[in-house]
Amino acid sequence: KLGEQKHPKEPSSLQCMHLAVVACGDRLEEPLIMLKSAVLFSNRRLCFHIFAEDSLKPEFEKKLKEWPSSYTKKFESNFYPITFSVGNAQEWKKLFKPCAAQRLFLPVILKDVDSLLYVDTDVLFLRPIDDIWHLLREFNSTQLAAMAPEHEVPRIGWYSRFARHPYYGSTGLNSGVMLMNLTRIRSAQFKNSLIPGGLTWEEMLYPLYQKYKNYITWGDQDLLNIIFYFNPECLYVFPCQWNYRPDHCMYGSNCRGAEQEGVSILHGNRGVYHDDKQPTFKALYEVIRDFPFEDNLFQSLYYPLQSKFLDTVHTLCGRIPQVFLKQIEKTMKKVYENRVIVYLGANHRY
């Protein structure tokens, strides 16, 4: 039982941090930029688990191999087809966005992976993945996954105003960034609205979808909200700076953690990297996309970003540039300091 399990141990430094993403349709550039942001700043080795349609895989592999060896040695990549172990595959594939429901099946597919960070394709890391990975150590004996609230303010949140199904807490959860202890998920018995007793994760998915499919709007995210509504003790809630979306600034700044620490993970949902509705989000995406790997981070990433932000100060999110810049500046200083230490150490030996 979950309550009898020990606290999860932090993976040893020899093991890698597991990161999963699902890419379908025309979504190739976004996940590549997401992975680039992960590699740029992370300290420990990364294992990428990339679930992609067959048509995307060759180009995906080709692009990753084009990265400089100084970066490709920091990760290994594993590719998987889009598969669903229970229910109707076409139904799952078309649920909400193409292939988004694949994330529900990660505990079933990645049987040899203990812990995993899943992110949507439209996510950017502004600090090392190591930092969110460390949150696994904060799980208590019953917690097996971590997500951020869908909103900070119930009166303007989507779930609190419109949801026709059970959801977690007062504002629901956003599943775009999801930290999971897969070992615990696989062994747990989940309370549910289907039968009096518990069900395993895999047993629960399709019957739960069948029961609520006429009431859900956001597909797999709604199903996760329903699961954790019935099993709130299983969830660790992390602060909004780990999943910062346009909703956190377009109605006025409402993410206190980001105001204090800066944005840790940027989530550009609603396509904001590709239109002009939220120029601050688009600026960060474009600067990381265009950054030449081997260039100086401050000269070729941070200073162009500052310049782009000057053009966004008239927008709702652009009025708080420090929220977007604080953490990435701190992260780049650490990267720079680490490189200087390594360089001096290498020279000192001779």
pLDDT digit string (tens) for 37-91? 999 999 999 999 999 999 999 999 999 999 999 999 999 999 999 999 888 888 8
The pLDDT value recorded for residue 191 is: 95
Q: Residue 149 — φ and ψ, nearest 5°?
A: -60, 150
> Are 204 and 265 part of one and the same domain?
no
The reply to whether 145 falls in a domain is yes
Q: Is residue 169 domain-shared with residue 283, that is, in the same domain?
A: no
Residue 176 shares a structural domain with residue 35? yes
Q: Is the pTM of this model over 0.85?
A: yes
- Res 10: pLDDT: 43
Q: Is residue 2 part of a domain?
A: no
Task: State the pLDDT at residue 262.
Answer: 96
- Confidence at residue 18, expressed as pLDDT on a 0 to 100 scale: 98
Long-range contacts formed by 290-295: CB under 8 A, 24+ apart: 291/36, 291/40, 293/40, 293/67, 293/68, 293/70, 293/71, 294/68, 294/70
Q: Are strands 145-149 and 235-237 parallel, antiparallel or unpaired?
A: parallel
* Domain co-membership, 217 together with 300: no
Whole-number pLDDT of residue 4: 33
350 within a domain of the structure (yes/no): no
Same domain, residue pair 215 and 267? no
Quick one: 226 and 122 in the same domain? yes
Reading the block at residue 46, the tokens are 């990364």
pLDDT at residue 309 in the model: 94
Q: What is the CATH number of the domain that holds 114?
A: 3.90.550.10
Last residue of a domain, one of 238, 268, 289: 238
CA-only gyration radius of the chain, Å: 20
C-alpha torsion sign, points 296, 325, 11, 227:
negative
Domain for residue 81, yes or no? yes
Residue 132: inside a domain: yes
**pLDDT for 341:** 64
pLDDT value for 14 = 45
With respect to residue 77, please indicate whether it lies within any of the assigned structural domains.
yes
Pair 35, 161 in one domain? yes
Residue 7, pLDDT score = 40
What lies within 8 Å, CB to CB, of 349 at 6+ separation is none
Q: What is the mean pLDDT of the chain?
A: 90
Per-residue pLDDT at 302: 94
Are 262 and 148 in the same domain? no
Q: Is the residue at 3 inside a domain?
A: no
Q: What is the pLDDT of residue 346?
A: 54
User: What pLDDT is recorded for position 343?
Assistant: 55
3-class SS letters over the chain: CHHHCCCCCCCCCCCCEEEEEEECCCCCHHHHHHHHHHHHHCCCCEEEEEEECCCCHHHHHHHHHCCCHHHHCCEEEEEECCCCCCCCHHHHHCCCCCCHHHHHHHHHHCCCCCEEEEECCCEEECCCHHHHHHHHHHCCCCCCEEEEECCCCHHHCHHHHHCCCCCCCCCCEEEEEEEEEHHHHHHCCECCCCCCCCECHHHHHHHHHHHHCCCCCCCHHHHHHHHHHHCHHHEEECCHHHCECHHHCECECCCHHHHHHCCCEEECCCCCCCCCCCHHHHHHHHHHHHCCCCCCHHHHHHHHHHHHHHCCCCCCCCCCHHHHHHHHHHHHHHHHHHHHHHHHHHHHCC
Whether 188 and 309 share a structural domain: no
Domain endpoint, select from 183, 210, 238? 238
Q: Is residue 7 part of a domain?
A: no
Instruction: Kindly tell me the sign of the dihedral angle through the C-alpha atoms of 42, 17, 265, 52.
Output: positive
pLDDT of residue 221: 93
User: Is there a single domain that holds both residue 39 and residue 138?
Assistant: yes
Choose one of 195, 216, 238: the last residue of a domain: 238
Count: domains in the chain:
2
Same domain, 63 and 192: yes
Instruction: Name residues whose C-beta falls within 8 Å of residue 123's C-beta, 6 or more positions apart in sequence.
Output: 34, 176, 177, 265, 266, 267, 268
Q: Which domain holds residue 308?
A: 241-345
**Based on the domain organization, do 204 and 83 belong to the same domain?**
yes
Task: Please give the Cα distance from 158 to 172 (Å, whole number).
Answer: 8
At 94 the pLDDT is 77
Task: Kindly give the parts of the chain with pLDDT less than 50.
Answer: 1-14, 349-350
Among candidate residues 227, 228, 231, 198, the one with its CA nearest the CA of residue 211: 227
